[in-house]
Structures are given as C-alpha cells and as structure tokens.
Amino acid sequence: MTRLYTDDAELYDIAFDWDVSEEVGWLVERLGRPSSVLEPGCGSGRMLAAFADRGIDVVGVDLSPRMVELARDRLGGRGQVVLADISELELGRRFDGAVCPINTLLHLSPEQLARHLDRMAVHTSRYLVQVGLVAPGEAFAGSHWEEERDGTRLKIDWVDEEVDVERGVSRQRSRIEVLSGPRAGDVLEEVHDMTAWTPVRWRAAIEASPFEQAATYDGGASDAWPEVGPDATGGLLWHDLRAG
C-alpha cells in the first residue's frame, strides 16, 4: 500500500473528490433501488456519502486506517466503516447490493480477486464493479486533471508506465503536484503494481466465481453509461455481476 492511501490520504481525498451524485443515482437504479449497500475498498468515503444522502444504509470496508478515519468523518455517523482486508470479508450480514468503483479491484492479484468474489457472494447477490480491461497491444491513455478544495489545488497525472498483457500485470505511475495551499510545491510520485485484465481473462475469472456477468457499461462515456459488448475495453467499464 503506497503513501497515497496511507500517510498522504488527504491528498487522495482531494484528488478524487469530484461530484459522484449522478453516477450514484445510476448505480442505485442498476441495483434495483437497494435499501443497503456495501462498498469494499471505500477509500475516503465519497461514494458511501452519496448513497447515504439517498437514505441508503451503507457499510464501507478499507485496509487503510487513515482512509477508514476519513470515511467515518465524511459520513458523520450515517453509516459504518470497517477496517478489513476485502479478500477476507466476514461482516455477518447480507446487503441488497454492493459497488466497487475506479479500478480498486486492479490492486488485487487474480488469486486475491477469486477470494474476494467468494466472500462477496456471501454478502450480496448484486455487485457492480468498475474494472478497466485492455486488449493486447493496447494501453490506457492515462488521466490528467486538477482538483481544488479549501485553498489546496492539485494537479494529478495517472498513466500506464508498463503493461504486460501476457503476464497480466500493469505498472501505473501517479504524480500529484500541490499547486497551492499549505503544502504548495510538494510532489507525491508513486508506482502502483496492478493486475491487467483482458476481456477473455476477466470473463474466465467471473465464470470461476459465484457470480455471472449480466452486463457491461461504459463508465467513461460522459454521463450516459451506455451498455457495451462483452469484448469492450477501456479504463472505466462497469460490470454488473449477479450471484445465485
């Protein structure tokens, strides 16, 4: 786990703090208007808060103590946030649905993903996950944006440094430059070793799990999130997984 998710989690909280209310509204409809939602790998809780704003009972899980603290502060008692490994979940209850956005599951190895899906099937039968898929010879274009909050402005660059489709690995580099605020001039640059999934390998992983893939949606297509085919590639694909 890199500093972005631990000691510098506050920078993460600003960098990924765009408005998700419309996307959460779309997720609510896809999940059949659930009364309870679980988010594994919840980070600082922006999705959880948007679900809670709709009166939904929310529970988040994260492995970073600092992220758990930030998420609890953001929720202000409107839900629960648990410190735990998402590959070893045991919460003792079931949920109407679950979500996992922005490629969080790429941090898991194939073996960890298999354990995670087994545990998720114990907790829900509806799971929407955002996992980018890549074809041989293809790489994600990368993301570049700026965010500002309370006088602190960040410039963020997130790119693929290396993608080895045959080995199923991706090395991504993040660079966050603090343009203004108390930490102006600071730069946090890190490498993240991730899993690279092709459509074929992703389908095989889901078929080996308790879930089946009901649909795939393009989460990078403006605010429309249209359904796409099972061989689609891209960095922000939403996969509708259903068990039982």
CATH number for the domain spanning 164: value is 2.20.130
Q: Categorize the per-residue pLDDT at 221 as very low, low, confident or very high, splitting at 50, 70 and 90.
A: low
Residue 244: predicted pLDDT: 82
Residue 98 has pLDDT above 80, yes or no: yes
Q: Are residues 151 and 96 in the same domain?
A: no
Q: Are residues 181 and 104 in the same domain?
A: no
Backbone angles phi, psi at 9, to 5 degrees: -60, -25
Q: Are residues 120 and 33 in the same domain?
A: yes
Q: Name the residue with tokens 């309370």.
A: 150
Q: Where are the beta strands (DSSP E) in the chain?
A: 36-40, 57-62, 79-83, 97-100, 126-130, 143-149, 152-164, 169-180, 187-195, 211-218, 227-228, 237-243
223-237 tens-digit pLDDT: 689 999 999 999 899
Q: In the predicted model, what is the mean pLDDT of residues 100-129?
A: 97
Q: Categorize the per-residue pLDDT at 4 as very low, low, confident or very high, splitting at 50, 70 and 90.
A: very high
Q: Are residues 203 and 120 in the same domain?
A: yes
Residue 13: predicted pLDDT: 97
Residue 68: predicted pLDDT: 98
Please, are residues 102 and 130 in contact by the beta-carbon 8 Å criterion?
yes
Q: Which of 195, 211, 234 is the last residue of a domain?
A: 195
Q: Are strands 97-100 and 36-40 parallel, antiparallel or unpaired?
A: parallel
Residue 140: predicted pLDDT: 65
| Distance (Å, whole) CA 46 – CA 18 | 9
| Distance (Å, whole) CA 41 – CA 196 | 18
**Average pLDDT of the chain to the nearest whole number:** 95
Residue 138: predicted pLDDT: 74
Q: Are residues 24 and 63 in the same domain?
A: yes
187-216 tens-digit pLDDT: 999 999 999 999 999 999 999 999 999 999
Q: In the predicted model, what is the mean pLDDT of residues 119-145?
A: 90
pTM here? 0.95
Q: Are residues 97 and 175 in the same domain?
A: no
Phi-psi region of 211 (alpha: psi -120 to 50; beta: other; left: phi over 0): beta
Q: Are residues 87 and 125 in the same domain?
A: yes
The pLDDT > 70 percentage for the chain reads 98
What is 138-171 written as a DSSP string? -----EEEEEEETTEEEEEEEEEEEEETTTTEEE
Residue 222 has pLDDT above 90, yes or no: no
Q: Are residues 104 and 28 in the same domain?
A: yes
Q: In the predicted model, what is the mean pLDDT of residues 75-82?
A: 97
Query: HSE (CB half, 13 Å, CA atoms) of 145?
Result: 10
Range of the domain at 26: 3-134+198-243
Q: Three-class SS of residue 99?
A: strand
Residue 105 has pLDDT above 90, yes or no: yes
Q: Which of 195, 212, 228 is the last residue of a domain?
A: 195
User: What letter does residue 133 receive in the DSSP assignment?
Assistant: B
CATH number for the domain spanning 73: value is 3.40.50.150
Q: Are residues 214 and 171 in the same domain?
A: no
The pLDDT > 90 percentage for the chain reads 89
Residue 220: predicted pLDDT: 80
Please, are residues 98 and 120 in contact by the beta-carbon 8 Å criterion?
yes
Q: Are residues 11 and 56 in the same domain?
A: yes
Q: Are residues 39 and 147 in the same domain?
A: no
Q: Are residues 177 and 221 in the same domain?
A: no
**Who contacts 230 (Cβ-Cβ below 8 Å, separation ≥6)?**
199, 203, 213, 216
166-186 tens-digit pLDDT: 899 999 999 999 999 999 999
Q: Which of 157, 173, 195 is the last residue of a domain?
A: 195
Tell me which of 26-35, 126-135, 156-165 is least confident.
156-165
Please, are residues 154 and 15 in contact by the beta-carbon 8 Å criterion?
yes
Q: How many domains does the chain have?
A: 2
